[in-house]
Amino acid sequence: MLITESMGNLPRRSFTPEFKAEIVCRRGDRSVGQIAKDFDLIETAVRDWVKQAEVDTGEREGLTSSEREELTALRRENRRLREDVDILKRATAFFAKETR
């Protein structure tokens, strides 16, 4: 399934994990270039999907999709917590000034 996001003047295409898995499964004996051409996709994207599928199945070293999702979520949470700490530091400094 195709999801289109607008980035400036050029639309950015985004695909569901199910679509990516189907493209990888349909590869068979065909080259990545042929698959990309058949489905009007960028060859680099298809190659990345194949590599990620190989990581997910244990055929290649690297972070699995679930590990990538977890890492992204942890980085987001870490950023939010740092912002919270910064706000608390500012509030502490403000109230320390007010009590003098």
For residue 82, what are the contacts with CB-CB under 8 A and spacing of at least 6? none
Per-residue pLDDT tens for 47-90? Answer: 999 999 999 999 999 999 999 999 999 999 999 999 999 999 99
Q: Kindly report whether the global pTM for this prediction surpasses the value 0.85.
A: no
pLDDT of residue 98: 82
Per-residue pLDDT tens for 24-54? Answer: 998 888 899 999 999 999 999 999 999 999 9
SS3 44: helix
Nearest-angstrom CA–CA distance, 42 and 90: 48
pLDDT of residue 7: 54
